[in-house]
Structure 1
Amino acid sequence: MFRINHLLKLKNVTIKILQRSPVEASRCIGLQRVQFIHPARFYSKSSDDGGKKVQDGKDKACEEKKTQKQRPKLVLRECKPVDIHPCTPPPPPPPSKLPHINQEDCPVKPTLESECPQAKQEPPPECPHDEGSKWDNYKNAVLVGLLIAAATLGALYYVGYFEDKTKPKKLVAVKKKKAKRAPVKDPPTSKDIPNQVPYLLIGGGTASFAAFRAIKSADPTAKVLVVTNESFHPYMRPPLSKEMWFNEDEESVKKLIFKQWNGSERNLYYEPEDFYIKCQDLLKNENGGVAVARGYKVTRLDVINRIAYLEDGYAIEYNKCLIATGATPKMLNVFEAACADPQIDEKVKLFRNIYDFEEVYDAFEESKSIAIVGGGFLGSELACALARKGKRKKKTVYQLFREHGNMGKILPEYLSSWTTNKVRAEGVNVVNNTEVIGVKHEEGKLVLILSDGKMIRVDNAILAVGVEPNTDLAQKSGLEVDPELGGFLVNTELMARSNLYIAGDCACFYDVKLGRRRVEHHDHAVVTGRLAGENMTGGTKPYVHQSMFWSDLGPDVGYEAIGIVDSSLPTVGVFAKASDKDTPKAVVTETGEGIRSKMEAQEQKTGDETDHKEDKKDKKEDYGKGIIFYLRDDVVVGIVLWNVFNRMSIARQVLKDERKYDDLNEVAKLFNIHED
């Protein structure tokens, strides 16, 4: 029984040891075997010598215990210096002090370390610090030092350390990029804007200017508030693409003063600044007046309660309201995608307002080449103006468009081709029958990839491909927009809702003669604004006026047009030889007025008193001056007066008659184009 109990104790100890890690188990087994050495016990069947043997066993066990208790004192060994070298492997660890167990004496494995696979010993790495590499390290250090010294000397030379300080230093003019004019917000806060006014005009362009003049004419004490998102008082847009480029005095250009073709100077603003009163004083002034809140935008209208809301939520109540928000230049898809690159975006310009003019003007001064995309009115006018201005400085001007010739959507093909030759004579590199299909930036240049496979490298590009009416107010205000023509839908009195009127580029009106239309020209803005202002003061006049427009390709070629002028319609042209008097410059010199829509009142009706015969087209096809009739169902619906001026009232009368003419040559005589 004693042996069985003893074996069970050893089994329990062994199980606890096996639950530990291999190293700990190894150590514990050694300690346990040392600890559990019991004195030898001898058993004998005979009692004679058995007692003696037992006594001898006890004596031996006691002697072993005494021997174990008398352990020798520890003596520290002397430490020898160890040579530490980065490539010398570390010395082996000292032998373990645990007692050694022979595997032969123990049937069970004494340790669990034998079960673990032994890792293969890798050969020692090659040492880079051997004696043979010392010379290579020294050479490398010398080379690095020489390189640092050379770089230091080069830097000192670059900053001019070795220059002769006695010599005067050469000053180099560095062109600083002109900062854009900061937007103006006047008054500074919306709280200074009246919260209730009799007349509210949204938009600060030509239509609003014509409207408040009509309101003040009908009601001299009227109090009119104009809210515009621009930073300027109302101004004229046509000179921005024409006469403003022919003023050589830069100081005058900065003041927005332009020269007409006859040399007389004129300011771009309709009225001087002191004409307007401050917004804070509008309601206090007994005589009324016109106040302009600049830098503010109306975002919503409550047309039932007649309340306009600004972008900050400020509310303005009104009795009568006019929307004349104008239009925004279009951006072609290929340029819109390319302008995600800031380098390209900086070189692509739009052209509509004063800010655009100033930006393009500065860019043109710094450029050697520029491209104008678009072949309509604006694109052709800008191309001629920039080419004439940059001729002395040998600047290159490109004009790119998909049509066959300049103003190909308006003029018949033969006249469009002739006009393109005139534009080329002004110094413009016209690239027709193509379009831009790709834009990229290379080495500081704008690269335009064309549909015909060619590429044009320029410093800047101007987009002049039409406009879109500003109708953002429509959705939030419950107003209707024409899905095809764009613009707010209005009736013949230019009303969109009760007490709400629309005028200018953003109005889609009903023409009793020509149907639903939308027009984007200066004269249309003037006439619709004036009519809206008259109706806002109690009038009920319908819009039956046929507005005109004009364009000048420099001082020598110009035209006026009225009605529907579309190159897809059948046309009949009657031409005559032009004289020196048949130019835009000559007519402005004679009348003193550059805004051609104002000349109608000064026209001298010629009638059909002349008996001059029609001049046939010569072999050179020199379309010096003439009349082009546009027909729809054999009825004249549009007329272009090519280098013929002061005859617009006659053209208006021809359209009003709505007649079918057997011989349009006879009708052309009414314009007196054959006079010497």
Structure 2
Amino acid sequence: MYRCRAVCERIAPVARSSCSSSSSSSCCWRLASRNVGRNVSSLARRQGEGFAQLRATRAMSTGGVPGGSLTNVLMYGTMGLSGIASVLYAYNILHGDASRYRDTLTYLNKKQNEQEWKPKQWPPAEEEEGAEDETVTEDTSEADTESPDEGASTVSQAEAEDSKADEATDTKPPALEAEAPATEASAVEPEAPSTQEKVAVTQEEAPAGEEASVVPEDKLEEGQAPEEATESAVKVVPVHLRPAIPEHVTYLLIGGGTAAFAAARAIRAKEPAAQVLIVTEELELPYMRPPLSKELWFSSDSNVADTLKFKQWNDKERSIYFQPASFYVTARDLPYQDGGGVAVLKGTKVLKLNIRENKVKLSNGNEIKYDKCLIATGGTPRNISAVQKAGEDVQKKTTLFRKIEDFKALEKVSREVKSIAIVGGGFLGSELACALGRKVKDGLEVIQLYPEKGNMGKVLPEYLSNWTTQKVRNEGVKVMPETVVRSARSEDGRVHLKLADGQTVTTDHVVVAVGLEPNVDLAKTSALEVDPDFGGFRVNAELQACSNVWVAGDAACFYDIKLGRRRVEHHDHAVVSGRLAGENMTGGAKPYWHQSMFWSDLGPEVGYEAIGIVDSSLPTVGVFAKASAKDTPKAASEASGTNIRSESETEAVATSLKPTATAAPSAATPKPAVPQPPQAGDDYGKGVVFYLRGDVVVGIVLWNIFNRMPIARKIIKDGQVHEDLNEVAKLFNIHEE
């Protein structure tokens, strides 16, 4: 009895499955039922008590009971055939679905490519021969969009082979063909290009701005034809389908100044195929700022505001831009450049920085994800409260000098007005005063006002500041030290500045040059730390603010291992910090130990370079000597080949501090000048000024001494106490005539 029950339980599911998929299910069921009935009756007569239990078992089963009769053999055979039929039916259904899916996918790809690939009218027969000579392959990309000429999906090689026959006949799947518009059937499609035309299109037919890419013959695999290499390796995204702003970039640089360009150049040097995107608020490509207040004003070209080219002191012409426009790629094409590149997104501001999701939000609403980000936002010129509180008329007649547009505006104003007042006596204010002073002979009045006792009074010791003030006056500038502007108003088309001592200065235009305020607006959305004392984003020794975010240039507040935490606003610092940040973004992990330098020229005859902490409130020791004709910015430019002295004054540090040996003086050779401390009324031809903190030199100014910056770096780096700074001054060879 138990054996019969076990067999029934095993056969029942099979029988049900067979009956559900076979046309002879009812016959099979009746035959199995009769067989089970006969066996149950026989067993019941022999065993009696088990009849009820067996009957219950039968009630739960629809299959037969094994036996040795011919009927059971037929039942097994029928069930087996039914199972085989079910398997064949399922296979047929699945195979048909796969075929229909493949046909549908092929048709959809063909329709999409027909819409994207809209060839122009093929050239006439007489022009075809000339057109073929100018063919180039289309630009490649990493996008998943297939080439319009391929027309078939590459899901797998087997599916591609099956679809070739469908593609050759240009047929549609029956299900989709019925849904096609009636007008499509009657439309005349252009003749498909030949195989060679699939690989190459003429320059005239290539979309505007789309570059061509050819697979070199030496890169082809053995036995591979050029057209096969192109079809298998090139994936083309038409230019008109590419987004104007990429959704993701590897390296995102916020800011378009010197630090950002230096970082981009360093990244590309480490990773030649890197894709770098620079986002800047300005409408200009990256450029150098120093010539805006120096050489451009000394140009004899009347169109200098348009060309932005200047002659250096050595008469060599140079552009203010680091690189021409041809150096860059467009932001649209950046993700599709196999060799990488640098793109500049101009006139766009980054509003938000999400450091957790590695993305930024732009002023135009777009979002960009990045792998590594650099903040090089620089600074915004400070204004004075008197102008800020004045009306709109005064502000329209005021220039906060910083950018190319400020130079262009001021250069135009200087040719149209009769008087310009410069508020500020630091580097920028003094340079602009000397530059505009050259126009005094043309009838322009130049006035300079500042609260210090002399020009650059916060940097230079008092005696040298007074000498500089006299130099500026000699240029024709009306210098008014120790004056503070209390209020400003516009009347009769002119600006009236009320001073703290009660005087009133009337002028046509005002230039404010009183320093920078670092741009740290992104700290509000990124939770980056801003230094409360110096301003700027606080960074570690590697210029990193947080994971995947670095800061360089004016906006970086870094820790100097010798001088403590600092923030520097100079061209050389922007160059070196930008370069180091770029290297660290590629995995460099280098600390920033560089002592940056800065320089200022009061024309081609007087200039100075400085390094470290140069603060006139510190104790100073100055050693000077008589200058010669070679001790001028012009001579230094002729010797080095550039006016941008951060390019000639390298980062190198002197290996030893030893004065250069000189020949013993003879009767025909004049005795070398002996360095002397400054005296009242001296003409400070050339010299060295040491700034001390606890008897240790922390800053150095080289007055009309050039190409000696490595020695100055060595002195500050050593941090030693020097008993006689006159001896240290000899290291700079200032005694040479």
Task: Say whether the fold is shared (TM-score over 0.5).
Answer: yes
Choose between structure 1 and 2: higher helix proportion.
2
Whole-angstrom distance in 2 between the partners of 1:501 and 1:237:
22
Preserved contact between residue 553 and residue 577 of structure 2 (Cα < 8 Å)? yes
SS class of match (1:392): helix
- Larger deviation: 547-556 or 583-592? 583-592
Whole-angstrom distance in 2 between the partners of 1:296 and 1:189:
22
Unaligned runs of 5+ in 1: 1-186
SS class of match (1:580): coil
Q: Give, as a single letter, the amino acid of the residue that structure 2 aligns with 1:638.
A: G
Preserved contact between residue 258 and residue 571 of structure 2 (Cα < 8 Å)? yes
Whole-angstrom distance in 2 between the partners of 1:419 and 1:208:
34
Preserved contact between residue 296 and residue 304 of structure 2 (Cα < 8 Å)? no
Whole-angstrom distance in 2 between the partners of 1:517 and 1:355:
30
Q: Given the alignment, which residue of 682, 694, 715 partners 1:633? A: 694
Q: Per-residue CA shift, 1:560-603, capped at 9, x if unaligned?
A: 00000000000000000111111111111222211011112499
Residue 367 of structure 1 and its aligned partner are, at CA, apart by 1.1
Q: Is structure 2 residue 674 aligned with structure 1 residue 614?
A: yes
Structure 1's 364 and 541: CA in aligned 2 closer, same or farther, altered over 3 A?
same
Q: Given the alignment, which residue of 208, 233, 244 partners 2:260? A: 208
Partner of 2:356: 304
Whole-angstrom distance in 1 between the partners of 2:689 and 2:566:
21
Q: Give, as a single letter, the amino acid of the residue that structure 1 aligns with 2:675.
A: D
Residue 370 of structure 1 and its aligned partner are, at CA, apart by 0.6
Preserved contact between residue 614 and residue 665 of structure 1 (Cα < 8 Å)? no
Whole-angstrom distance in 2 between the partners of 1:413 and 1:486:
28
Q: Is structure 2 residue 426 aligned with structure 1 residue 366?
A: no
Partner of 1:279: 331
Whole-angstrom distance in 1 between the partners of 2:241 and 2:382:
31
Partner of 2:185: none
Partner of 1:324: 376
Q: How does 1:139-150 map to 2 (within 5 A)?
A: none
Q: Per-residue CA shift, 1:538-571, capped at 9, x if unaligned?
A: 1110000000000001111110000000000000
Q: Given the alignment, which residue of 689, 711, 722 partners 1:650? A: 711
Q: Give, as a single letter, the amino acid of the residue that structure 2 aligns with 1:381.
A: E
Partner of 2:735: 674
Q: Is structure 2 residue 522 aligned with structure 1 residue 522?
A: no
Structure 1's 271 and 251: CA in aligned 2 closer, same or farther, altered over 3 A?
same
Preserved contact between residue 636 and residue 659 of structure 1 (Cα < 8 Å)? yes
Q: How does 1:254-273 map to 2 (within 5 A)?
A: 254-273=306-325
Whole-angstrom distance in 2 between the partners of 1:367 and 1:248:
20
Partner of 2:430: 380
Residue 357 of structure 1 and its aligned partner are, at CA, apart by 0.7
Q: Is structure 2 residue 657 aligned with structure 1 residue 592?
A: no
Preserved contact between residue 204 and residue 234 of structure 1 (Cα < 8 Å)? yes
Whole-angstrom distance in 1 between the partners of 2:241 and 2:520:
25
Whole-angstrom distance in 1 between the partners of 2:242 and 2:257:
21
Q: Per-residue CA shift, 1:408-466, capped at 9, x if unaligned?
A: 00000111011101111111110001111111122221111111221111110100001
Q: Could you say which structure has the larger radius of gyration?
A: 1
Q: Given the alignment, which residue of 477, 487, 507 partners 1:438? A: 487
- Larger deviation: 618-627 or 562-571? 618-627
Partner of 2:468: 419
Q: Given the alignment, which residue of 502, 513, 537 partners 1:464? A: 513
Partner of 1:246: 298
Q: Given the alignment, which residue of 578, 591, 595 partners 1:542? A: 591
Structure 1's 567 and 335: CA in aligned 2 closer, same or farther, altered over 3 A?
same
Residue 343 of structure 1 and its aligned partner are, at CA, apart by 2.0
Residue 513 of structure 1 and its aligned partner are, at CA, apart by 1.0
Preserved contact between residue 602 and residue 646 of structure 1 (Cα < 8 Å)? no
Residue 631 of structure 1 and its aligned partner are, at CA, apart by 0.3
Q: Give, as a single letter, the amino acid of the residue that structure 2 aligns with 1:512.
A: I
Residue 189 of structure 1 and its aligned partner are, at CA, apart by 13
Structure 1's 458 and 574: CA in aligned 2 closer, same or farther, altered over 3 A?
same
Q: Give, as a single letter, the amino acid of the residue that structure 1 aligns with 2:272.
A: P
Partner of 1:61: none
Whole-angstrom distance in 2 between the partners of 1:615 and 1:654:
18
Whole-angstrom distance in 1 between the partners of 2:650 and 2:384:
40
Q: Kindly, what percent of the aligned residue pairs are identical?
A: 59
Unaligned runs of 5+ in 2: 1-238, 663-671
Residue 671 of structure 1 and its aligned partner are, at CA, apart by 0.2
Preserved contact between residue 376 and residue 406 of structure 1 (Cα < 8 Å)? yes
Residue 604 of structure 1 and its aligned partner are, at CA, apart by 12
Q: Is structure 2 residue 490 aligned with structure 1 residue 429?
A: no
Partner of 1:156: none
Q: Given the alignment, which residue of 226, 232, 250 partners 1:198? A: 250
Preserved contact between residue 190 and residue 314 of structure 1 (Cα < 8 Å)? no
Q: Give, as a single letter, the amino acid of the residue that structure 2 aligns with 1:286.
A: D
Structure 1's 467 and 355: CA in aligned 2 closer, same or farther, altered over 3 A?
same
TM-score by length of 2: 0.65
SS class of match (1:528): helix
Residue 188 of structure 1 and its aligned partner are, at CA, apart by 13
Whole-angstrom distance in 2 between the partners of 1:450 and 1:190:
58
Q: Is structure 2 residue 711 aligned with structure 1 residue 660?
A: no
Q: How does 1:337-416 map to 2 (within 5 A)?
A: 337-338=389-390, 341-388=391-438, 390-416=439-465
Q: Is structure 2 residue 498 aligned with structure 1 residue 449?
A: yes
Q: Give, as a single letter, the amino acid of the residue that structure 2 aligns with 1:536.
A: M
Whole-angstrom distance in 2 between the partners of 1:475 and 1:673:
50
Q: Give, as a single letter, the amino acid of the residue that structure 1 aligns with 2:400.
A: L
TM-score by length of 1: 0.70
Q: Give, as a single letter, the amino acid of the residue that structure 2 aligns with 1:495.
A: Q
Q: Is structure 2 residue 554 aligned with structure 1 residue 505?
A: yes
Q: Per-residue CA shift, 1:165-224, capped at 9, x if unaligned?
A: xxxxxxxxxxxxxxxxxxxxxx99995111111110010000000001000000000011
Q: Per-residue CA shift, 1:214-235, capped at 9, x if unaligned?
A: 0000000001111111101100
Q: Give, as a single letter, the amino acid of the residue that structure 2 aligns with 1:398.
A: I
Preserved contact between residue 628 and residue 641 of structure 1 (Cα < 8 Å)? yes
Residue 334 of structure 1 and its aligned partner are, at CA, apart by 1.0
Q: Give the aligned CA root-mean-square deviation in angstroms.
A: 1.9
Structure 1's 192 and 391: CA in aligned 2 closer, same or farther, altered over 3 A?
same
Partner of 1:532: 581
Whole-angstrom distance in 1 between the partners of 2:632 and 2:700:
18
Q: Give, as a single letter, the amino acid of the residue that structure 1 aligns with 2:406.
A: D
Structure 1's 311 and 405: CA in aligned 2 closer, same or farther, altered over 3 A?
same
Preserved contact between residue 262 and residue 582 of structure 2 (Cα < 8 Å)? yes
Preserved contact between residue 603 and residue 647 of structure 1 (Cα < 8 Å)? no
Preserved contact between residue 278 and residue 291 of structure 1 (Cα < 8 Å)? yes
Equivalenced residue count is: 487
Residue 630 of structure 1 and its aligned partner are, at CA, apart by 0.3
Whole-angstrom distance in 1 between the partners of 2:345 and 2:707:
38
Q: Per-residue CA shift, 1:238-292, capped at 9, x if unaligned?
A: 0000101111212233111111112221101000100000111111110000011
Whole-angstrom distance in 2 between the partners of 1:363 and 1:645:
35
Whole-angstrom distance in 2 between the partners of 1:323 and 1:208:
8
SS class of match (1:280): coil
Q: Give, as a single letter, the amino acid of the residue that structure 1 aligns with 2:274.
A: A
Structure 1's 603 and 594: CA in aligned 2 closer, same or farther, altered over 3 A?
farther
Preserved contact between residue 262 and residue 586 of structure 1 (Cα < 8 Å)? yes
Partner of 1:222: 274
